[in-house]
């Protein structure tokens, strides 16, 4: 009964795009996974996604993509967690009564040898730190809302966590 109030967010992640879809409402947010970080006077996050690029002309701001690395999907765990947190908050809204979502995180791509246990754990912990109450890591084709809501995923993919 209470599970009907828990949102289910489907997060597709690549170095080029971060997409979050609410499986219950169909609402979608999709942007480049960049973060603007001001380094002075103290380190602070000043923009996420498309908003990050608005800060690129500021001298003390660095634009970074925490999911762009030649050997791994995760290049900066802390920044990636903050980016996921910002996207999940945008999707959930600003209510103080917002319920922590269930997240199905779908890293896109098929690295040679598959994703490592370290990458899978990093992605899971990143989503938990971003506010998810439960995280499933999925590798395979894109999932539809019915599959996400039922938790029954197709046989031609893998639940990695």
Residues 99-114: tens digit of each pLDDT: 899 999 999 988 888 8
Give the CATH number of the domain where residue 124 resides.
3.30.420
Residues 20-33 pLDDT 10s: 999 999 999 999 99
The total number of structural domains in the chain stands at 1
Whether the model clears a pTM of 0.85, i.e. scores above it, the answer is: yes
Could you say which residues of the chain have pLDDT below 70? 1-3, 94-97
Phi/psi class of residue 26: alpha, beta or left (left: φ > 0; alpha: ψ in -120 to 50)? left
Q: What is the pLDDT of residue 2?
A: 47
Q: What is the pLDDT of residue 42?
A: 87
CB-based burial of residue 153 (10 Å sphere; 0-12 exposed, 13-18 middle, 19+ buried)?
middle
Q: Is 101 part of a structural domain of the chain?
A: yes
The whole domain housing 126 covers 2-30+71-159
Query: How far apart, in Å, are the Cα atoms of 18 and each of 68, 147, 153?
Result: 12, 20, 21
Q: What is the pLDDT of residue 146?
A: 96
Q: Is 48 part of a structural domain of the chain?
A: no
Upstream peptide bond of 41 is cis (omega within 30 degrees of 0): yes
| Contact by Cβ (8 Å): 45, 32 | no
């Amino acid at each position: 009964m209470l599970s009907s109030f828990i949102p289910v967010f489907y997060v597709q992640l690549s170095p080029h795009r971060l997409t979050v879809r609410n499986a219950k409402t169909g609402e979608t947010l999709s942007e480049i996974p960049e973060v603007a970080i001001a380094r002075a006077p103290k380190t602070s996050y000043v923009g996420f996604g498309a908003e990050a690029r608005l800060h690129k002309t500021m001298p003390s701001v660095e634009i970074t993509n925490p999911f762009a690395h030649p050997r791994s999907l995760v290049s900066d765990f802390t920044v990636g967690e903050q980016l996921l947190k910002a996207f999940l908050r945008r999707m959930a809204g600003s209510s103080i009564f917002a319920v922590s979502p269930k997240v199905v995180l779908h890293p896109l791509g098929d690295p040679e040898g598959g994703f490592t246990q370290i990458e899978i754990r990093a992605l899971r912990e990143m989503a938990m730190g971003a506010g998810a109450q439960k995280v499933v890591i999925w590798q395979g084709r894109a999932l539809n809302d019915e599959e996400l809501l039922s938790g029954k995923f197709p046989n031609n993919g893998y639940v990695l966590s």
